[in-house]
Amino acid sequence: PGSGPPDYFLTMRASFAASTVRRIEPSAVAPEHFIKIKLLGKGDVGKVYLVRRKGTNKLYAAKVLSKAEMLKRNKIHRVLTEQEILTACNHPFLVTLYHTFQTSKNVYFVLEYCLGGEFYRALQKRPGRVLREHEARFYVAEVTLALEYLHLNSICYRDLKPENILMHASGHIKLTDFDLSKRAPRRPSFSTGFDGLNPNGNEWAWANGQPDTDAYARDFRTNSFVVGTEEYLAPEVIRGEGHGVAVDWWTLGIFCYELLYGRTPFRSKNRNLTFANILRTDLSFPIAHNPISTTVRHFIRRLLAKSESKRLGAKQGAHEIKTHPWFKSLAWPLLRNMTPPMIP
């Protein structure tokens, strides 16, 4: 370090692979256009298969959702949410949706194939299930950019965890599973009839962390029941107070902690004890095998502020995360051209 060219000069291939190219393909796509290769994963209403498109021979991940299961488990709106969000989004660190279609039995999502599979599995192969600090910084940074993009488009992700992060063949990450995400309705005064990307994130009631005084924002602040994954839930979600995009910065803190310490900070024997820890227990850092800087501990502490308004990111969003001293040496615009630490 310190001499020679920075490593992003050596990584044309990775940069090429990670850039987002939304391919325009004929929309009349059907199941018989694909050959099933193998099962990649199972969810509660469907399965994900590795498939090859006939003719082009390109690989995709096809998510097959059973309509009967969707009905039985009351998951229709979740599937629609996922489709709506994936269709609207286009970012190198979000999994790309190429096609959707249906038969009488199933709904199909044809997604970008991520050869490295779940980040979670890659992490498990590491000694102690931990990363070195500079490696963690890389993945936390990529997730930060993905969340920033979602927030600017008024989408709260709400389900960050290593299982929902996929690794592309390039080694860069792709967030997936948007069925728990929440999209803000457009404020009536800004309605332009354009139902796509929000050109200016600040026009939204809640995307910029403004006080919750706007009636439209208040309506939106999700009165939702508890959503997300136990150990990753933010205090305001557990309290059922309604929540805004700051929940995603909380989960980023949990994620960063897990990458460095091999476990989440508030985990306990059962759900109630875990929740009690999240609400009341002060954050502590165990003695770790690898050296862990005070800077990253400060970063995690600021993300895991129990009070939403005091949390890093609560006022100016991702800008506050990106300018934290832990990222001082990081060239944000070049992130997608850098060589990732773990190559699948």
Nearest distance in Å: CB 63, ligand ADE: 7
Nearest distance in Å: CB 111, ligand ADE: 4
Residues recognised as catalytic: 159
Of all residues in the shown chain, the one whose CB is closest to ligand ADE is 61
Nearest distance in Å: CB 176, ligand ADE: 5
Rounded Cα–Cα distance for residues 78 and 58 (Å): 28
Identify which of residues 95 and 292 has a Cβ nearer to ligand ADE in the complex: 95
Identify which of residues 41 and 242 has a Cβ nearer to ligand ADE in the complex: 41
CB of 162 closer than 8 Å to CB of 255: yes
Question: In 281-314, where does DSSP find H-type helix?
Answer: 294-303
Listed residue (128, 143, 134) closest to 303, CA to CA: 143
Identify which of residues 95 and 303 has a Cβ nearer to ligand ADE in the complex: 95
DSSP 3-state helix, strand, coil percentages of the chain (rounded to 5)?
A: 40, 15, 45
CB of 163 closer than 8 Å to CB of 116: no
Which positions touch ligand ADE (CB under 6 A)?
40-41, 48, 61, 95, 111-114, 117, 166, 176
Nearest distance in Å: CB 175, ligand ADE: 11
Within 10 Å of residue 41's Cβ, how many Cβ atoms? 15
Identify which of residues 97 and 304 has a Cβ nearer to ligand ADE in the complex: 97
Rounded Cα–Cα distance for residues 134 and 138 (Å): 7
